[in-house]
Amino acid sequence: MSGKTALIAFAHQERTSFNYAMKEAAQAALEKKDWTVLVSDLYEMKFNAVLSRDDITGEPKEPNHFKYGAETLLAWKEGHLAKDIEEEQKKVEKADLVIFQFPLHWFGFPTIMKGWLERVFSSGFAYGAKSMFSEGPFKHKKVLLSFTTGGLESMTTPRGITGDINVILWPLQNGILHFCGFNVLAPQIAYTVAHVTQEVRVGILKSWEKRLETIWEEEPIRFLPIQDFDTSGGYVLKKEVEEARSADKYGPTVGQHLGKPLPPDSQVKPEGSGL
């Protein structure tokens, strides 16, 4: 792992928070293994999370009918994106591994982190009509979500009141990260950290540090490759792919479940990991 670069995108307002401790632990553990670690502390940076015309410099191509996606794609190609976007994109370009560290807010990213994703993962840079999912621009990079929750782990089981964690993670890990081509590693989830003992919190940090020692060797979560879909017919599963799985007990993925039971733990563990 020596010589590799990691980017930690961090979203929490307080340095006394457990999320900050997780960020610090990750940075220290990776640097101990000779990684170069870049950090985007979004609250410290006062990162602008709002998309606007100001995200491009100079005159837009269509000032009277501004289309954000088209205008930022052109600006990316011509080098006219706003400076803060360009700076963050350079960090992503350098990174072999991206870690998102955050508290889960309303079953998703905090607003400031979602805004970072929407502005930094712009059209052309992070995805395109012919470069998405398994063929996305970041297909040689790895990524993982490391987050804390306010609720109990039992609440996010298939019988829990908030629902299966695999369903909660699907739009984040497939709809954003895998969509951009990332190899998505199993998430690092610290459940209900505000209501556990200090001894438990120390154990969580030690486990996180231990995992990071060999993080680059981990296998990613499995998603269906774009080649399994009919790209000329609405991006649905090819008939031969579906037929080949007709006898399977579970659906292929959380999203492409084919009306069958969801594959257990498919968004929290790599296939065949035995974890």
What residue ranges do the domains of the chain occupy? 5-223
Tell me: the pLDDT tens digits for 150-207? Answer: 999 999 999 999 999 999 999 999 999 999 999 999 999 999 999 999 999 999 999 9
Instruction: Using the predicted structure, report yes or no on whether residue 272 has a pLDDT greater than 70.
Output: no
Q: What average pLDDT does the segment 12-27 reach?
A: 96
The values of phi and psi at residue 36, to 5°, are -90, 125
Q: Report the C-alpha gap between 37 and 27 in whole angstroms.
A: 6
Question: Half-sphere exposure (CA, 13 Å, Cβ side) for 264?
Answer: 8
Mean pLDDT of the chain: 95
Name the architecture of domain 5-223.
Answer: 3-Layer(aba) Sandwich (3.40)
pLDDT at 274: 47
Q: Report the C-alpha gap between 105 and 74 in whole angstroms.
A: 33
Q: Report the C-alpha gap between 201 and 193 in whole angstroms.
A: 7
Q: What average pLDDT does the segment 78-98 reach?
A: 97
pLDDT at 233: 80
The values of phi and psi at residue 192, to 5°, are 40, 50
Q: How confident is the model at residue 267 (pLDDT cuts 50, 70, 90)?
A: very high
- Which residues contact residue 11 at a Cβ distance below 8 angstroms, ignoring those fewer than 6 apart? 19, 42, 43, 100, 101, 102, 103, 109, 110, 112, 113, 116
SS3 state at 260: coil
Q: What average pLDDT does the segment 220-225 reach?
A: 96
